[in-house]
Homo-oligomer: A and B are copies of this chain.
Amino acid sequence: MLSDVEGLYSGPPSDPQSKIIHTYVNEKHGKLISFGEKSRVGRGGMQAKVFAAANAASKGVPVVIASGFATDSIIKVLKGEKIGTLFHNEANLWECSKEATAREMAVAARDCSRRLQKLSSEERKKILLDIADALEANEDAIRSENEADVEAAQGAGYEKSLIARMTLKPGKITNLARSIRAIADMEDPISHTLKRTEVAKDLVFEKAYCPLGVLLIIFESRPDALVQIATLAIRSGNGLLLKGGKEAMRSNAILHKVITGVIPDAVGKKLIGLVTSKDEIADLLALDDVIDLVIPRGSKNLVSQIKATTKIPVLGHADGICHVYIDKSADMDMAKRIVLDAKVDYPAACNAMETLLIHKDLSKSEGLDDLLVELEKEGVVIYGGPIAHDKLKLPKVDSFRHEYSSMACTLEFVDDVHSAIDHINRYGSAHTDCIITTDEKAAESFLQQVDSAAVFHNASTRFCDGTRFGLGAEVGISTGRIHARGPVGVDGLLTTRCILRGSGQVVNGDKGVVYTHRDLPLQ
């Protein structure tokens, strides 16, 4: 049955609190949905459709009410896609509360976040300190749940690297508590004024920070990510939905319980929702009207898939094809130290070097020979671009856009700093790129013209990290150009609002006031 709305809603479709009911269950929805005079859904049309559909279903004829505006609704229904509202005489036997749960959690998280924002800065700080204390007090219980996850993962034959990432090593809880206390001590970012302008006499404009709203974090393995992100969300006044990997289910559950256990009733424990139901990621990603930002923490594939399938803004990066360029004038000892660190310190990290660009004049230098020997000694496999393949007889790369994430890298020669910049802007992933040089002019060209989230001079790419940059912690590293870019701490979880304080001013065709537009001190 085709209608002018997407299906049956729990309230007026225009009300953001209303949700579409994907599966109608008479016992449950018959009472809840009001078809009163006040409801837009109650103007006869939908009531009559629901009556007819429920009637047909009860006689064994399943019915879907869907939108007649979309041209492919019927095809989608025939394919079995979840669109519109399904009426079926066995629906009461199904487990069909999926989307409602996640949506309800998001709406509740927003309500709680508004109450969190009303608290004083000291009260928010106290919540964070209480979380740090509670984690330490419950360390044994947390570790025993984590061990159970690790054992189960070992039994299930998960990869070693995944098991390593999900293990909370001794001292980890203490470290987490310390980092929470550091974040608690940060200046409160909420309502922090960024700009003040006198618009006209007694009319003052302010631009101030405020929370984004509700964040959805989708993370794999690492249970410590849950703690870090929950802390940053509370510090920035945001509500949070957490969707962790099932491999760390028990660890996530106890961490969530310990953290929400100290959230005061004035805020509400639903501030942080742990999605443990069978909600699929796709269902969560469809909630673009109640979730403001998705932060995926996990593999490149996870991030790419999320970006491709949601209308919610995604903060993160898929690729980390980081370059180090050794300029003609580089100090080759420094170059060796930085290149080795950038590749070897943690080869699977997103900020590890994947491509080494070298000024062509260095192709027969002792410094380069020495560097190559060192890399090989560490076990790094080197592939060559077309020129390096010819000159150094290296195995040839398939593509310059390759992220090894392992003890391997690409090497290529370039003509000068400008070719290096072009190469990076063309083949890089705009994550972190570095120049090694003693030539200040070349360094400045590189820093200004390489179009990446982070550009370094004479320092290892591995420094690209929120904690190392001094942001307290990070929710991730963004290679997007909109909103936050680079390692993202509390700032990236905030947006701004315009506040205008007047004394009765009107615009009146711009003759109402005399505009002064004078910058004021921030107070």
Taking CB atoms and an 8 Å cut-off, the chain A residues in 499-516 that contact chain B are 499-510, 512, 515
| Chain A 487-508 near chain B by CB (<8 Å), digits 1 or 0 | 1000000011111111111111
Interface segment among A163-171, A278-286, A368-376, A478-486: the answer is: A478-486
Name the one of B451, B458, B459, B507 contacting A462, with C-beta atoms under 8 angstroms: B507
Tell me, yes or no, whether A158 is within 8 Å of chain B by CB: no
Kindly list chain B residues whose C-beta atoms are within 8 Å of the C-beta of A205. Answer: 469-470
Kindly list chain B residues whose C-beta atoms are within 8 Å of the C-beta of A460. Answer: 505-507, 512
Assess whether A481 is in contact with B341, with CB atoms less than 8 Å apart: no
Assess whether B483 is in contact with A482, with CB atoms less than 8 Å apart: yes
A508 to B340, CA, bound (A): 9
A386 to B36, CA, bound (A): 14
Assess whether A448 is in contact with B117, with CB atoms less than 8 Å apart: yes
Assess whether B485 is in contact with A482, with CB atoms less than 8 Å apart: no
Assess whether B40 is in contact with A398, with CB atoms less than 8 Å apart: yes
Please name 12 further chain A to chain B contacts, defined as beta carbons within 8 Å, in addition to the given A14-B401, A482-B482, sorted by A numbering.
A38-B386, A40-B399, A197-B470, A203-B463, A313-B313, A453-B498, A454-B497, A454-B498, A458-B505, A462-B507, A463-B502, A464-B498
Assess whether B313 is in contact with A482, with CB atoms less than 8 Å apart: yes
Assess whether A482 is in contact with B212, with CB atoms less than 8 Å apart: yes
A342 to B500, CA, bound (A): 14
Assess whether B497 is in contact with A486, with CB atoms less than 8 Å apart: yes
Kindly provide the distance from the CB of A455 to the nearest chain B CB, expressed in whole angstroms. 6
Given contacts A338-B506, A495-B481, is CB(A470)–CB(B117) below 8 Å? no
Name the one of B455, B508, B510 contacting A497, with C-beta atoms under 8 angstroms: B455
Tell me, yes or no, whether A449 is within 8 Å of chain B by CB: yes
Name the one of B334, B341, B458, B498 contacting A508, with C-beta atoms under 8 angstroms: B341
Kindly list chain B residues whose C-beta atoms are within 8 Å of the C-beta of A75. Answer: 75
Assess whether A497 is in contact with B453, with CB atoms less than 8 Å apart: yes
Kindly list chain B residues whose C-beta atoms are within 8 Å of the C-beta of A462. Answer: 506-507
Assess whether A507 is in contact with B40, with CB atoms less than 8 Å apart: no
- The winner among A499, A500, A517 for most chain B CB atoms within 10 A is A500
Assess whether B453 is in contact with A345, with CB atoms less than 8 Å apart: no
Kindly provide the distance from the CB of A334 to the nearest chain B CB, expressed in whole angstroms. 4
Tell me, yes or no, whether A456 is within 8 Å of chain B by CB: yes
Tell me, yes or no, whether A189 is within 8 Å of chain B by CB: no
Taking CB atoms and an 8 Å cut-off, the chain A residues in 167-195 that contact chain B are 191
**How many of chain A's residues touch chain B, expressed as a range?**
35 or more
Kindly provide the distance from the CB of A233 to the nearest chain B CB, expressed in whole angstroms. 15
Q: Would you give 13 A-B contacts (Cβ < 8 Å), ordered by A?
A: A14-B401, A114-B449, A212-B481, A341-B512, A345-B508, A447-B501, A454-B497, A454-B500, A456-B501, A457-B500, A458-B503, A463-B507, A470-B515
Kindly list chain B residues whose C-beta atoms are within 8 Å of the C-beta of A117. Answer: 448-449
Shortest 8 CB-CB contacts between residues of A and residues of B: A459-B502, A341-B506, A470-B517, A462-B507, A334-B504, A454-B498, A486-B498, A456-B500
Identify the closest chain B residue to A503 (Cβ). Answer: B458
Kindly list chain B residues whose C-beta atoms are within 8 Å of the C-beta of A203. Answer: 459, 463
Tell me, yes or no, whether A82 is within 8 Å of chain B by CB: no
Tell me, yes or no, whether A395 is within 8 Å of chain B by CB: no
Kindly list chain B residues whose C-beta atoms are within 8 Å of the C-beta of A495. Answer: 481-482, 485
Tell me, yes or no, whether A378 is within 8 Å of chain B by CB: no
Assess whether B504 is in contact with A448, with CB atoms less than 8 Å apart: no
Tell me, yes or no, whether A426 is within 8 Å of chain B by CB: yes
- The winner among A331, A345, A463 for most chain B CB atoms within 10 A is A463
Assess whether A485 is in contact with B496, with CB atoms less than 8 Å apart: yes
Kindly provide the distance from the CB of A231 to the nearest chain B CB, expressed in whole angstroms. 18
Name the one of B191, B501, B504 contacting A337, with C-beta atoms under 8 angstroms: B504
Assess whether B470 is in contact with A341, with CB atoms less than 8 Å apart: no
Assess whether A118 is in contact with B507, with CB atoms less than 8 Å apart: no
Name the one of B425, B496, B505 contacting A459, with C-beta atoms under 8 angstroms: B505
Kindly provide the distance from the CB of A177 to the nearest chain B CB, expressed in whole angstroms. 19
A481 to B239, CA, bound (A): 14
Kindly provide the distance from the CB of A473 to the nearest chain B CB, expressed in whole angstroms. 13
Given contacts A212-B481, A313-B482, is CB(A506)–CB(B118) below 8 Å? no
Kindly list chain B residues whose C-beta atoms are within 8 Å of the C-beta of A453. Answer: 497-498
A486 to B207, CA, bound (A): 9
